[in-house]
Structure 1
């Protein structure tokens, strides 16, 4: 069996309505087939500061912008995955940054609160990034079922900085993931150094397809890509806005996993110390 995987690369700004307008144009240009999996980058509807995120935040499953995303998924009959959106939390003055998965019927099928928050110094104009000032980390590993005709494929959810933590990806694989999504806003500096090798490593280690949708422009690296379970870059968009797509082929995963059964060989899942 084979079905379409796709990623949309954006140059998101701080005004959510402008990003929605751009997203509608990008989806129209992609023209997804029914049931297609479409991944948007991290901060797809707003890339700004704490004040903007707090003002935009909505309760999970409610609110204007979530309803807009739901309507777009329904209009294009696709699985639309918004890389991250600010969702209200129980903590005063802090929120979750949350991946939202909408089904072709517009249902909020699943969500994932980003677990690893990017608190780091980068050699660029911003210098210090401290997501923990705005967000609180999630606690749950999340997958969802992508219905491909009569078949169901497990898809694992991550966000950006999670890419540097292989344990999360290994857990997703152990829970049955055949595809792992990586929406991101990787910086130009860190992207040039680590984006490709990290994505390839996570694909090879877990023998999964990796779909990575990144922000572009404004010191963001772009280079959204789809990587095979063997670590090959199947599709890539280096700069600007646009989309990429490729066929998902379950048979390729099965072939690689049968030839090299990494999951069975991994002693660290059962080894007693």
Structure 2
């Protein structure tokens, strides 16, 4: 049986990376101590900071970023694959990149991914977000392949708002992904409405595992995130979840053969057919 022991780490990151490094080390150590070979942290692991000027003034380039350095060390210390859901990295033009990282058990970087879709929305009760003011959107999907105890892992990347764009996950599934990911800092308002249903849908429609670590609770910058870090199997069943919004860890043992089993039952990836998209009105 090709199994992967996976963990999601739920955090309540503050505006200061030095404070979040302490929580990161403790929670990753807990996940590794519970047997996880792959550990995922949330979006904005390094800092949840709505103050654009404060965030940009304290950014580091990738090679100097404290979260990146610590993640490489932690992956090597615990001999795990450590997936930093994302952290803000200095980008050209005085902007930031919302960048995810995967580090291998030897501490080397396996893959990185920049969030593609910017959360530019106006919600109820006056809640409004404009990520495009601060972040440069990514331009490429990413897929990492590695082996753990005989399990052939093919991991597709996404971050938070990306989960509302199913074409990204479909492209990764067609490229061979058997695990999809969506680490997030989902707002409480949207999380209560859509978190579980969106993640279960992405798993079901692609017959893959879905792993999504999350930020949870009220943060120092005033925002409130939903939590409920989760691991979902290819049939849409919740395999593990951090209940609520408190920091914590959830672990699940993933039988990767379940992906082929689900695709055998409902081979929708194979049953796709091309179709025309000429929507010009036709006279009846």
The TM-score normalised by the length of structure 1 is 0.93
Structure 2 residue 259 is the aligned partner of structure 1 residue 258: no
Give 1 or 2 for the bigger CA radius of gyration. Answer: 2
Structure 2 residue 121 is the aligned partner of structure 1 residue 120: yes
CA distance in 1, matches of 2:60, 2:34: 30
Task: Give unpaired runs (5+ residues) of structure 2.
Answer: 219-223, 278-284
Contact 2:3/2:253 (8 A) holds in 1 = yes
Contact 2:31/2:39 (8 A) holds in 1 = no
Q: CA RMSD in A?
A: 1.6
Task: Give unpaired runs (5+ residues) of structure 1.
Answer: none
Between Structure 1 and Structure 2, how many residues are aligned? 269
For residues 125-150 of structure 1, the C-alpha deviation after alignment (integer angstroms, 9 at most, x for no partner) is: 6x110000000110000011132134
Structure 2 residue 237 is the aligned partner of structure 1 residue 236: no
CA distance in 1, matches of 2:84, 2:55: 15
- 1:75 is paired with a residue whose SS is helix
* Per-residue deviation, 1:5: 1.1
CA distance in 1, matches of 2:31, 2:124: 35
Structure 1 residues 217, 13: closer, same or farther in 2, change over 3 A? same
User: Among residues 73, 86, 89, which one is paired with 1:87 in the alignment?
Assistant: 89
Contact 1:208/1:253 (8 A) holds in 2 = yes
Structure 2 residue 176 is the aligned partner of structure 1 residue 176: yes
CA distance in 2, matches of 1:23, 1:176: 30
CA distance in 2, matches of 1:15, 1:231: 36
- 2:14 is paired with a residue whose SS is coil
Q: How does 1:1-273 map to 2 (within 5 A)?
A: 1-32=2-33, 36-48=37-49, 49-90=51-92, 92-124=93-125, 127-218=127-218, 219-237=224-242, 238-267=244-273, 270-273=274-277
CA distance in 2, matches of 1:213, 1:271: 36
Structure 1 residues 75, 166: closer, same or farther in 2, change over 3 A? same
CA distance in 2, matches of 1:252, 1:4: 14
Moved more, 230-239 or 194-203: 230-239
CA distance in 2, matches of 1:101, 1:244: 19
* Per-residue deviation, 1:272: 4.9
For residues 222-261 of structure 1, the C-alpha deviation after alignment (integer angstroms, 9 at most, x for no partner) is: 1111101000111111220110011111221111111211
For residues 29-77 of structure 1, the C-alpha deviation after alignment (integer angstroms, 9 at most, x for no partner) is: 2234777110100011100032233234333344433111110111111
Structure 1 residues 56, 36: closer, same or farther in 2, change over 3 A? farther
CA distance in 1, matches of 2:210, 2:241: 12
* Per-residue deviation, 1:86: 1.4
The TM-score normalised by the length of structure 2 is 0.90
Structure 1 residues 134, 56: closer, same or farther in 2, change over 3 A? same
Contact 2:215/2:245 (8 A) holds in 1 = no
